[in-house]
């Protein structure tokens, strides 16, 4: 997620974190921000959750796919699986370790359940000029 940027009329810009931004508000503005934040949180928590397909390469999360892109996630997994699996299987055969660790060390897919708000704003934010509806 990007840090908010403010611009003045002369064209200069500055990135602000939440704490810094709040310090610049009046008490009434902070109260209003709190009320709006509570409304957003309430709507987000009441909305149905969505699924993000997370492809993990055995070390880190390699890619994220939208709820309806499970086939793309599977294709991604297949592209990266064999080489890593062969390496981990060789290591395991030479010196066995916990099976759960082995499962975590090879590429895999897992579903991440998120609110619609997070899905739209954090996982798959629409870019300016994006043609997707």
Residue 132 pLDDT more than 50?
Answer: no
Q: How many CB atoms lie within 10 A of CB 88?
A: 19
- pLDDT for the residue numbered 24: 86
Q: The pTM is what? A: 0.68
Residue 129 pLDDT more than 90?
Answer: no
For the chain, the domain total comes to: 2
Report yes or no on 70 lying in a domain. Answer: yes
Q: Based on the domain organization, do 72 and 105 belong to the same domain?
A: yes
Q: Based on the domain organization, do 81 and 35 belong to the same domain?
A: no
- How confident is the model over 47-83, as pLDDT tens digits? 999 999 999 999 999 999 999 999 999 999 999 999 9
Q: Based on the domain organization, do 53 and 112 belong to the same domain?
A: yes
Structural domain that includes position 72? 49-123
Q: Based on the domain organization, do 53 and 116 belong to the same domain?
A: yes
Q: Based on the domain organization, do 53 and 99 belong to the same domain?
A: yes
Report yes or no on 100 lying in a domain. Answer: yes
- pLDDT for the residue numbered 21: 83
- How confident is the model over 9-49, as pLDDT tens digits? 777 777 778 888 888 889 999 999 999 999 999 999 999 99
- How confident is the model over 74-107, as pLDDT tens digits? 999 999 999 999 999 999 999 999 999 999 999 9
């Amino acid at each position: 997620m990007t840090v908010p940027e403010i611009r003045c009329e002369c064209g200069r810009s500055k990135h602000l974190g939440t704490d810094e931004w709040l310090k610049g508000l009046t008490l009434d503005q902070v109260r209003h921000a709190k009320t709006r934040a509570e409304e957003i949180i309430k709507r987000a928590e009441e909305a149905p959750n969505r699924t993000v397909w997370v492809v993990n390469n055995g070390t880190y999360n390699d890619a994220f796919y939208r709820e309806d892109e499970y086939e793309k996630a599977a294709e991604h997994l297949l592209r990266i699986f064999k080489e890593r699996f062969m390496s981990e299987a060789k290591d395991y055969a030479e010196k066995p370790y916990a099976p759960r660790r082995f499962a975590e060390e090879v590429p895999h897919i897992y579903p991440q359940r998120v609110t619609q708000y997070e899905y739209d704003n954090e996982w798959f934010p629409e870019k300016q000029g994006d043609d997707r509806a």
